[in-house]
Amino acid sequence: MIQDNYSLTEEQIKHFEVFGFLVRRNVFTTDEVAKMNEEFDSRRAVLLEGTDPEEKRFFDNWPNRNPETPFISSLLDDPRIYQHSEQLVGEDSVPVHSNANSYSQDSGWHPDRTDHNICTIKNVMYLQPTTADRGALRVIPSSHKNPLHKDLLRIGLRGFKENDSQFLKKSGLCGADIPCYIFESNPGDIITFYEWTWHAAFGGYKDRRTCTFNFYRNPKETDEIAAMQLEVKNYAEETRTLGTVGLQFHPTWLENPDHYPRRERWINWLKEWGFIQAQYK
């Protein structure tokens, strides 16, 4: 059942703070998920046509904010995405990345971010059912915070590909042996986690699909501001490394034809920090 009020309870917020992630079930309906998959199908087909099949890529991904995927693009303006995000990282937080991702393999253990001067959260929705053996996201509770966050780095667990993890290599363990919470999900469920939180997925298969919506906390302290400036500086290079195809901030989205005040605030912030200009570099 879809709840009318999308606010998180105090208990849910506390859970997120302590464990570094939060699960919400049945956030989107079956019909809505079907629409997302339809848009995903057509957009992926178009993009793959223009891609060199021999090119080695981690995974196919493209920004959601474009006129070819109008429903997915509209989700950032949907309270089911922004309302809890604002509760978790601030009313003045901003969605910097929003992507569709098509994976074709496992994702080994990693945090998306290790610099604690930038606070970002990621909302992930899988467009297919997931289980432990078939692509479910795994998270290590409380690994967004030290000492666990740093301990996992120190022991050498990190490796986007399993073979890259020094700890797994030396111990003879596989990624699935690492103790964690497994987010088995149905399309329409959403997991939100701090990008510092360690996560992985095993049992990958071709065209394993997610839509992601990342919100950044507005930086206030000197160290946070410096870290955000560095983030902007590295933005174009990071996007190239990830192989993201297309503009993150499409001109149509920037036009804000419905004059949403929230989106207008986001656009002003993105311009102020230089993210929009950075996507053309």
Partner 1 sequence: MSMLTEQQITFFNTFGFIILRKVFSDEELAIMDDEFETSLKTIQGERPDNEVPKHFNWSNLGPETPFLSLLPEDPRICETAEQLFGEHVIAVSSNSNRRVGNTHWHTDQSHPHSYGLKFAAYLQPLNSDNGAFRVIPGSHKQPFNDKLKHIEMHSSEITVPYYSCDSAPGDIVIFNFATWHSSFGGSTNRRMCTIDFYKNPETPEEVEGTYDQVIVDEKVYAKLRAYGSGFHPHWLANPQNSPRRQRWIDWLRKYGFVKSEEA
191 is an interface residue for partner 1 by CB under 8 A: no
User: Does residue number 14 form part of the binding site for partner 1 (CB under 8 A)?
Assistant: yes
Q: Is 83 in the site for partner 1 (CB under 8 A)?
A: no
Q: Point out which span in 49-57, 84-92, 164-172, 258-266 binds partner 1 (CB under 8 A).
A: 164-172
Among 2, 34, 46, 155, binds partner 1 (CB under 8 A): 155
Q: Which residues contact 54 (CB under 8 A, 6 or more apart)?
A: none
Contact 125, 208 (CB under 8 A): no
Pick from 171, 212, 218, 256: which binds partner 1 (CB under 8 A)? 171
Handedness of CA 189, 194, 198, 200 (dihedral sign): positive
Establish if 141 lies at the interface with partner 1 (CB under 8 A): yes
- Strands (DSSP E) along the chain, which ranges? 21-24, 60-63, 94-103, 107-110, 120-126, 137-139, 181-183, 190-194, 199-201, 208-216
In angstroms, the Cα distances linking 271 to 19, 195, 237 are: 33, 23, 18
Instruction: Please count the residues of this chain forming the interface with partner 1, following the rule CB under 8 A.
Output: 29
* The pairing of beta strand 199-201 with beta strand 208-216: unpaired
How many whole angstroms separate alpha carbon 70 and alpha carbon 260?
A: 16
Nearest to 68 by CA among 88, 89, 90, 45: 45
Q: Within positions 228 to 267, which residues make up the interface with partner 1, using CB under 8 A?
A: none
Is 150 a binding residue for partner 1 by CB under 8 A? The answer is no
Stretch that binds partner 1, among 149-157, 218-226, 230-238, 269-277 (CB under 8 A): 149-157
- Identify the residue among 180, 201, 211, 270 touching partner 1 (CB under 8 A): 180
Identify which range of 73-81, 93-101, 116-124, 135-143 contacts partner 1 by CB under 8 A. 135-143
- Positions touching partner 1 (CB under 8 A) are 9, 11-12, 14-15, 18-19, 21-23, 139-143, 145, 147-148, 151-152, 155, 167, 170-173, 179-181
